[in-house]
Homo-oligomer: A and B are copies of this chain.
């Protein structure tokens, strides 16, 4: 299992990125990580200044920053770490790629190479959400902010495959994010997508429109939405969890006395469990190969988790390379 890791991507790169790689290979004896980045910046973070066993370095000189416009940056900086990761994947030198860098550049990098699975029109980023009934997949959370109905329909197909194989849901149900459950609700995109699902082979799995409050109830296994709305949803969830943890912590701090520490410790445990930024990244689905996109603020633990998720997906053979278009 060989994974290329963008050592330069992320708000605090390369320090925590390299640390995450070291932790991941220590935890998984079958894992090999290729650190893609500027040698002079990466090596200071390696023990003794050189790569240990099962870690190697792919040197490149450029970095796409978080602020840069993806397509422009990829063209101007041909030797950037994101493009090099994609190159390694397209040459079948690695099974998966992982980056906490510029999300748009990661998506655009794959788009440029057209490393799509057969018949896939546009890849989409899937995220796994906690619910009262296990986990659900939400797709797209930011790859495609102006999708067409057929893109959303394909996200339903891809999300179902992820739910089936990664979340052990044998017959995943699909819901369309909308502003009301009735078919006539929503904007044109939502109405046309609803009609597409109802006229398709997925109509038995399609439960229709769902609303924002259905996500955490676990009303369906796959939530289909456009990349703009999905990205907002993901970040709103992150924000509300953070907010609730702060207000609950404050409230418990004053309500409890003898058991205050116990209560706050239990709360901290939950905060860690639902810390979206520490989750193992989100897969870009529709790609021939595994591509995991991490939160820009990812620390070593998040990177370690993302490498482990990438290895897991690669082992599940979630993407079928034989069907490449």
- Chain B positions within 8 Å of A177 at CB level: 232
Interface segment, one of A2-10, A12-20, A198-206, A210-218:
A210-218
- Closest Cβ of chain B: how far from A233's Cβ, in Å? 5
- Chain B positions within 8 Å of A227 at CB level: 179
- Chain B positions within 8 Å of A237 at CB level: 212, 236, 240
- Closest Cβ of chain B: how far from A195's Cβ, in Å? 16
> Which residue on B lies nearest to A181, using beta carbons?
B67
> Which residue on B lies nearest to A260, using beta carbons?
B259
Partner of A212 from B213, B233, B244, B248 at Cβ < 8 Å:
B233
- Chain B positions within 8 Å of A214 at CB level: 239
- Chain B positions within 8 Å of A242 at CB level: 213, 216
| Inter-subunit contact B228/A229 (CB<8 Å) | yes
Interface segment, one of A56-64, A185-193, A280-288:
A185-193
> Which residue on B lies nearest to A211, using beta carbons?
B235
- Closest Cβ of chain B: how far from A224's Cβ, in Å? 13
9 nearest CB pairs, A to B: A212-B235, A255-B266, A216-B243, A213-B239, A212-B236, A240-B240, A259-B259, A179-B231, A213-B235
Contact A212 to B228, CB < 8 A, known contacts A145-B186, A266-B255, A270-B251: no
Q: Can you list 25 residue pairs at the A/B interface with Cβ under 8 Å?
A: A69-B184, A131-B243, A132-B246, A142-B179, A145-B179, A145-B186, A177-B232, A179-B228, A212-B231, A212-B234, A212-B235, A212-B239, A215-B239, A217-B243, A228-B229, A233-B236, A240-B240, A244-B244, A247-B270, A251-B269, A251-B270, A252-B263, A256-B262, A257-B259, A259-B259
